[in-house]
Structure 1
């Protein structure tokens, strides 16, 4: 069975936020919202869970720090210790002040690169993926709210969305 959605077009981000509040209060399901720029507070109004990307970034930073410590300990202490500038390489702790810049850089490197890869995997942005934008005007100046019709009356839902300030309503069958 084909699913039906309604695309409601808005021309103002404040109007969109108010409409999202009204649609959620009326217990309609919002499938997706397309905007030309990030709208502050939209995630909270939609009831989306907060992102855990910062937690993964911290964990990736710990991985980078661990790799840096293990790498420098192996290279500079165990494998090929050298007397550089009169500083003997007898232990890692004696030489740690010289290793701090490398530890910092690898922590940032791992956190940044692995976080970007995680973001692309989570949002399913593969290379050469076709755009999923249903209306090209949402890349310029319009805001689109996709509402699932499910078991609701299309005419009542359309009237409700027009009352929230929608400029244009389209019924789409998938």
Structure 2
């Protein structure tokens, strides 16, 4: 068999899919990808995927937002155009900081949220008008698809997948 072939095993239940992923991984087969209509809790661990570092980037983006907010409030209210608002002194950022807390919070959240969306789309290679790479349209509705690479082991892999509760098994050429 050619190495550019894959087996698509379709399942109609997420619990059956989780058991099938564990069975396939225990048999030492490489799962290329799993397509699901909704997030399946624990699937990343069952597949043996490394933990994501998106939380670290979110924290760094939040720190960046806080730094920008600190600079913005200092520059606009202390350095550029100091004003006496409500009797608050305009010569010290530290004395005015309690009044700036909403701005600090909002810009922290703004930077973290917007930069995380951009990072997620870039990391996932998703951009506007990109064609879907979904191998079977049923995986957007009610089916789960496990894609496994074929390496001279097509028949034994099909037999294994039959025992896992797959409702459909197809061998396809991967583009």
Normalised-by-shorter TM-score class: over 0.9
Q: Which runs of 4+ in 1 moved over 2 A?
A: none
3-state DSSP class of the match of 1:145?
strand
Tell me the equivalent position of 1:55: 56
Identify the residue that residue 170 of structure 1 maps to in structure 2.
Answer: 170
Contact 1:2–1:173 (Cα < 8 Å) also in 2: no
SS at match of 2:88: coil
Name the CA distance, whole Å, in 1 between partners of 2:141 and 2:70: 48
CA contact (8 A) 1:19 1:164 kept: yes
Q: Is the 8 A contact 2:10 2:144 kept in 1?
A: yes
Deviations 1:59-106 (A, max 9, x none): 100000000001111111111111112222011111111111111110
1:113, distance to aligned residue in structure 2 (A): 0.6
1:98 correspondence with 2:99? yes
- In structure 2, distance between residues paired with 1:144 and 1:10: 6
In structure 1, what is the equivalent of residue 155 of structure 2?
155
- CA RMSD in angstroms, aligned pairs only: 1.1
Structure 2 unaligned segments of length 5 or more: list them.
none
Give the secondary-structure state (helix, strand or coil) at the position aligned to 1:17. Answer: helix
Q: How many residues are paired up? A: 173
Post-superposition shift, 1:170? Answer: 0.7
Report the equivalent of 1:116.
Answer: 117
Query: Structure 1 residues 48, 158: CA separation in 2 closer, same or farther (over 3 Å shift)?
Result: same
